[in-house]
Chain A
């Protein structure tokens, strides 16, 4: 089944404790991206990647890191999480930017 998976789905952590949210797709997509969703602010892009080893900042990259060592995986790293990073996070992938974006199920993060 074609899908985008994210892990974990729910996470409660404390300020400053490094964490990684994984994203994996099985559709051989080149384009992958991370979004955060907050009430009233919609989907805001954190980082995106157009292919392996090619990543670029989105609109809200501060406090986040990403890597794209393999085509299928695009992990999101929070080196030192802060409470303002409490949010719902979505990973998405597609063949190209102008094609259908397939979203993962979301990761709900709470930083205390």
Chain B
């Protein structure tokens, strides 16, 4: 079952902030965030493991609320290079088996 991402699309002006959300109905072991530019492969941003930690990478950070099975990606002072489609991937574990499922993605456009 795919995680649900919201909002469906984001349009920003350069320098503005944005929050992208990802939620699942299942108990998660980890949440992944990737960005894909048009015509290219998805590129890794960050992974958050069970434990509710928050991670940061330059002006992009993320949090994982284990109780709510939700993760949020925070983009601060957006740059033109942030434009793309953002995917979250949620990992569910069942014994020795582990499954990673990606959401439908959110298109983010940063305008000058």
Contact = CB atoms under 8 A, between A and B. Distances in A.
Interface stretch (A18-26, A40-48, A62-70, A75-83): A40-48
Contacts of B99: 45, 48, 58, 97
Interface stretch (B10-18, B27-35, B55-63, B69-77): B27-35
B104 A101 contact: no
Contacts of B91: 97-98
Contact of B44 (A42, A45, A101): A101
Given A41-B104, A42-B2, A98 B98 contact: yes
A40 to B, nearest CB: 7
Contacts, number: 61
Given A98-B29, A101-B32, A101-B34, A42 B87 contact: yes
Given A97-B91, A98-B29, A98-B91, A42 B41 contact: no
Contacts of A105: 40-41
Contacts of A45: 99-102
Nearest to A102: B44
Contacts of B41: 90, 103-106
Interface string A36-62: 000011111100101000001011000
Contacts of A101: 32, 34, 42, 44, 89, 100
A85 interface: no
Interface of B: 2, 29-30, 32, 34, 40-44, 47, 49, 87, 89, 91, 97-105
Interface of A: 33, 35, 40-45, 48, 50, 56, 58-59, 90, 96-106
